[in-house]
Chains A and B, each alone.
Chain A
Amino acid sequence: MRIADPAVTSPVIATFSKIAGLRDFSQRLQALRDESPEFAALRIDRQYEKAGSIEGVRLHGDFGLEIVLTEPYPQILYWFAMPFTTPVPWEAVAYYDGEEGRPFFKDHPVGCGPFEVSEFDKQSKIVMSRNANWYGVQHPEWKAPGTVYPSEGEAIDRRLGRLDPAYVGRSLPLLDRIELRLEKEHIPAFNKFLQGYYDASGIVHESFDKIVQEGGLSPEMAARGMKLEKSVDPDIYYIGFNMNDPVIGAPAGERGRKLRQSMSLAIDVVEFNRVFNNGRGVPAQSPIPPGIYGYEQPYRNPFRQLDLTRAQALLEAAGYSGGIDPETGKPLRLSFDLGDTSTAGRLRFQFFVDQWAKLGIDVEIAATNYNKFRQKVKEGAYQIFMWGWIADYPDPENFLFLLWGTMAQANSGGPNTANFDHPEFNRLFEEMKGLDNGPERLAIIHRIRSLLEEERPWIELYHRESYALYHSWMRNVKPAGLSLPAAKYVDIDPIERKRMRDAWNQPILWPAYAGFALVALIAIPGVVTFLRERQ
């Protein structure tokens, strides 16, 4: 119900509007609030009650909930696994209303997990501490599942020593307090991790070679007892073409397609990952990342392998021989429109521009601030852009809908910024999204894939690979991708931490003494003069 509350401005309301009657409820609530201020002043649960029930949500006894949808949408189950569909007590929502010094509910989460948020400062840190009211803490004698350290897990857990017998059977959570800090500058943050002031960290790419060698920890770091965990993120980074553009888009027909294919063949993403990501990142072949149904590891997209000769041939076939635009007699000029003016961003964009330059295409970086970029997108005044998408839930629909005509920016302002609107793709996609995973669905995904190979609305770049580091005193860490609630298993050895932290941080003081000596040396003649004058 909270998601349907217009005052919450939930970004997922569109998805949940597939629940029958949810939108009606939302409108009724807004209308009642607009009509009478008295209603708007009522306690939140009274307001919801008066606005009436949601037609598609029915209760069955104490433990049953039935939800009726207006259309087939199997993905809704994923949405119900997300943090924002956690049940919340209305008392807490009513109490934390932002009035009289009380924070808003969203700034003061109330839940029923092993930890509670004791400090929430968006600028610097989140502190969580052991929740004394958690059922696992109040009733350790129940030995309820999820309240004691498990003795069983995935096969890989045993191999990696995550099921340490010393922990099995101990009550959870193991930590009393977790502090998450926001660091705006990543280098100092990582240095502090190396100095032992943080227990865990990602790897900043600048220090990568010192930490990781040949896919594992470097000997120096291994000697410190550090541990490394790798995982591939369910995301995709891509360069997109505005398919409504007369030069590179659909209006240019076969010429445009050949141009896109040629530009796709010129991008060497392995080199990009080597230069900017220390070789991390899986080169993407299609929009679907590893871990999502439809991803096939051996699959190679014929237009995503570096091949300059073929790229040049295609460019010639498109009518731009050697990159020369026959209309102007000069190299073809395209613009790469970006909403990021940072120095770091610019280097990355320049990398791609340099690669297209090898074909003789003159791509200009048009970096503006975010608002100006969005304005360009709205007006359709862009040609090439770069974007990324992180999975909301593990289903191919969540990636392929980015190319669905209905979601096109030009049609509906949706996230299909490439404005790809291909009848065949649309038909296949609409068929695919309602299907359960299985051979039928896979066959359609294969057809979509080969369609995208040819059409090239995107140049798929890479799927990120995350490396996480832990100090020796941090135990029982398991990377969990999209789901996060694993903190209750983690343990820390504070004595070890103190010992190593002190050992690593012996200050080197001699330059200070040397500096003082130098200053004194320079000042002494002056002081001598001073004394002489006084006498």
Chain B
Amino acid sequence: MLAYIVRRTAYGFVVVLGVLLLLFALFFLYAEPIEMARRAVGEKAPPEVLEQWVVNHGYDKPTWWNSESPGDTMLVDHFRSMLTFDFGRSDADDSPILERIRAGMGPSLSLTLPIFTVGVLLGVGLSLFVAYFRETYIDRMGVVLCVLGMSLSILLYIIGGQFLIGKMLRWFPISGFDASPAVMLRFLALPVLVGLAEGLGGSIRFYRTVFIEETGRDYVRTARAKGCGDGRIMARHVLHNAMIPILTRVVVSIPFLFTGSLLLESFFGIPGLGSMMVDAIHGNDFATLRAMVYIGALLFIAAQILTDIAYTLVDPRVRLA
């Protein structure tokens, strides 16, 4: 078992190295340092200032190989800074990236956590309800509603939510954020609602398939034959046995809680990591993008290792391959 964990983690590390190499190719080979400097310092800056900026940000070093001092290349710098979490400063405004990530995580989590928890609870609950009434009008209508919900673009959810609920009905403020908890709830209500509505269709449909597959199995028939009530079967046996696919879906989406939501955050003015990334995209801030992609990948890989290990613990049939 321990050997498996070690092997799995080692493989995860190799994948991290692969991700880093890819990031290097994406962000360094293509970058035009002087133009990045111009974008960062301003159109009006003279050439020597731009060159100074390039030196300050380490973009003047040789790309792959430095014959004088082998450790002093962009490639080495890239791996070193990423692996030690020393992300340096933003290409757009020189602010320390790690600090900004720390500051942005709170607002991001305060948006994604409610969407995630309520979403999972609602999704499982409603899909149990729908699966329970399978082959009736409730099930059919539920599935149709899910497909309808999945077919709308998230842009429409956001635009529609802001327009209807924020502007016409005035239930909640249209956008904004405040760190004090009492006020925060008011601001978060609308984006959370929009986020829920957007994700619910897909997750209900997924859980429903899982549950229906599970109710077709023999043990459910046995239980029913033994005289168990349908509700009891659903709640106890089916839910319990469907845990593995549900957990997989849930655990794999946890990393994305930390990286926030690009669209929701920028539309609703939440100063989290998602809107930070939108800014980085618009501002050509490669250093920030690189760090964020890396962190997202790292969390994802970690979550996958954990699920794999959890599998072997939960289900002895899973091969230790």
Chains A, B in direct contact (C-beta < 8 Å): yes
Chain A contacts for B279, CB-based, 8 A: 123, 184
Q: Which of A178-196 contact B (CB under 8 A)?
A: 181, 183-185, 188-189, 191-192, 195
Contact B230 A121 (CB under 8 A): no
On whether the beta carbons of A123 and B100 are closer than 8 Å, the reply is yes
B230 to chain A, nearest CB (A): 7
In chain B, positions 21-53 with a C-beta closer than 8 Å to chain A are 31-32, 35-36, 38-39, 41-49, 52-53
- Contact between B56 and A7, CB atoms less than 8 A apart: yes
Across the interface, B170 reaches (CB within 8 A) one of A392, A505, A523, namely A505
Asked if A197 lies at the interface with its beta carbon under 8 angstroms from chain B, I say yes
B173-203: CB near A (< 8 Å → 1, else 0) gives 1111100000000000000000000000000
| Interface membership of B138, Cβ < 8 A | yes
Interchain nearest-CB distance for B256 vs A (Å): 20
Contact partners of A506 in chain B: CB under 8 A: 170
* C-alpha spacing A532/B125, complex, angstroms: 21
0/1 per residue, A300-339, Cβ < 8 Å to B? 0000000000000000000000000000000000000000
Q: In the complex, A183 Cα to B43 Cα: how many Å?
A: 24
Which A94-149 residues have C-beta < 8 A from chain B?
A: 98, 104, 106-107, 121-124
**Complex: A81 Cα to B301 Cα, angstroms:** 54
Q: How far is the CA of A11 from the CA of B36 in the complex (A)?
A: 14
B86 within 8 A of A: no
- From 431 to 483 in chain A, residues with beta carbon under 8 angstroms from any chain B beta carbon are none
Query: With A11-B44, A121-B271, A183-B269 in contact, do A533 and B230 touch (Cβ < 8 Å)?
Result: yes
Contact between A188 and B93 (Cβ–Cβ < 8 Å)? no
A509: chain B residues within 8 A (beta carbon):
169, 171
Kindly provide the distance from the CB of A359 to the nearest chain B CB, expressed in whole angstroms: 31
- Cross-chain contact A13 with B136 (CB below 8 angstroms): no
B-side contacts of A14, CB under 8 Å: 46, 48-49
Tell me whether B275 is interfacial, beta carbon within 8 Å: yes
- Which of A9, A506, A534 is the most central at the interface, judged by chain B CB atoms within 10 Å of its CB? A9
A121 to B42, CA, bound (A): 21
Asked if A83 is at the interface (CB within 8 A of a chain B CB), the reply is no
A512 located at the interface, meaning its Cβ lies under 8 Å from any Cβ of chain B in the complex: yes
| B104 CB-CB contact with A under 8 Å | yes
A525 to B52, CA, bound (A): 73
**Interface-lining segment among B76-84, B160-168, B204-212:** B160-168
CA distance A7 to B53 in the complex (A): 9
Pairwise interchain contact B49-A13, C-beta atoms closer than 8 A: yes
Bitwise interface map of B from 89 to 121 toward A, beta carbon under 8 Å scored 1, else 0: 000011110001001100000000000000000
Interface residue from A13, A98, A184 paired with B278 (Cβ < 8 Å): A184
Which residue of the partner chain, among A104, A183, A392, A507, contacts B171 with CB atoms under 8 Å?
A507
Q: B231 is contacted by which of A98, A197, A523, A534 (Cβ under 8 Å)?
A: A534
| B-contacting 9-mer, from A240-248, A283-291, A370-378, A489-497 | A370-378
> How many residues from A make CB contacts under 8 Å with B?
51
The bracket for how many chain B residues form the interface is: 35 or more
Contacts between chains A and B (CB distance < 8 A), count: 124
Whether B171 lies near A512 (C-beta < 8 A) is yes
> Among the interface residues B36, B173, B230, which one has the most CB atoms of the partner chain A within 10 A?
B173
| CB of B74 closer than 8 Å to a CB of A | no
Q: Verify B53–A375 contact, CB threshold 8 A.
A: no
A378 to B38, CA, bound (A): 12
Q: How far is the CB of B19 from chain A (nearest CB, A)?
A: 23
Known contacts: A10-B49, A123-B275. The answer to whether A188 contacts B269 by CB under 8 A is yes
Contacts of B56 in A (CB 8 A): 7, 9
Which chain A residue lies CB-closest to B273?
A: A123
- Which residues of A have CB within 8 Å of B94? 104, 106
Q: Are A185 and B267 in contact (CB under 8 A)?
A: yes
Q: How far is the CA of A511 from the CA of B171 in the complex (A)?
A: 11
When the two chains form their complex, are residues A188 and B267 in contact, meaning their CB atoms are under 8 A apart? Answer: yes
Per-position binary interface string of chain A over residues 11-22, scored 1 when its CB falls under 8 Å from any chain B CB and 0 otherwise: 111100000000
User: Measured between C-beta atoms, what is the minimum distance from A401 to chain B in Å?
Assistant: 11
Closest to A414 in B: B46
| CB proximity of A103 to chain B, nearest CB, Å | 9
Interface string of A494-535 (1 = CB under 8 A from B): 000000000001111101100000000011011001100110
Query: How far apart sit A378 and B229, CA to CA, in the bound complex (Å)?
Result: 76
Asked if B284 is an interface residue, CB under 8 A from chain A, the answer is yes
- CB-based nearest A residue for B167: A191
> CB of B133 within 8 A of chain A?
yes
Across-interface contacts of A415 in B (CB, < 8 A):
43-44
Residue of A nearest to B31 (CB): A371
In the complex formed, the residue of A with least CB distance to B43 is A415
CB of B3, distance to nearest CB on chain A (Å): 42
Q: Could you tell me if A526 and B230 are in contact, using CB atoms closer than 8 angstroms?
A: no
Query: Does any Cβ of A come within 8 Å of B276's Cβ?
Result: yes
- Distance (whole angstroms) from the CB of B111 to the closest CB of chain A: 14
B279 to chain A, nearest CB (A): 8
Q: In the complex, which of the residues B36, B53, B173 contacts A197, with contact meaning CB atoms closer than 8 Å? A: B173
Bound-state CA distance A197–B174 (Å) is: 10
Instruction: Kindly identify, within residues 191 to 250 of chain A, every residue whose CB is under 8 Å from any CB belonging to chain B.
Output: 191-192, 195, 197
Docked-complex contact B36 and A371, CB < 8 angstroms: yes
Asked if B215 is at the interface (CB within 8 A of a chain A CB), the reply is no
Q: Is A87 located at the chain interface by the 8 A CB criterion?
A: no
Chain A to chain B contacts (Cβ below 8 Å), 13 pairs: A13-B49, A122-B93, A123-B104, A123-B279, A184-B266, A188-B162, A197-B173, A507-B171, A508-B169, A512-B169, A525-B137, A526-B133, A526-B136
19 additional contacts, CB 8 Å, given A6-B52, A185-B267, A188-B268? Answer: A7-B56, A9-B41, A121-B103, A123-B100, A123-B103, A123-B279, A181-B176, A188-B176, A188-B267, A189-B175, A192-B173, A192-B175, A197-B173, A197-B176, A371-B35, A374-B39, A392-B44, A508-B170, A526-B138
Going nearest first, the 10 A-B pairs with the smallest beta carbon separation are: A124-B271, A11-B45, A14-B46, A188-B175, A123-B271, A374-B35, A188-B174, A526-B138, A508-B169, A507-B170
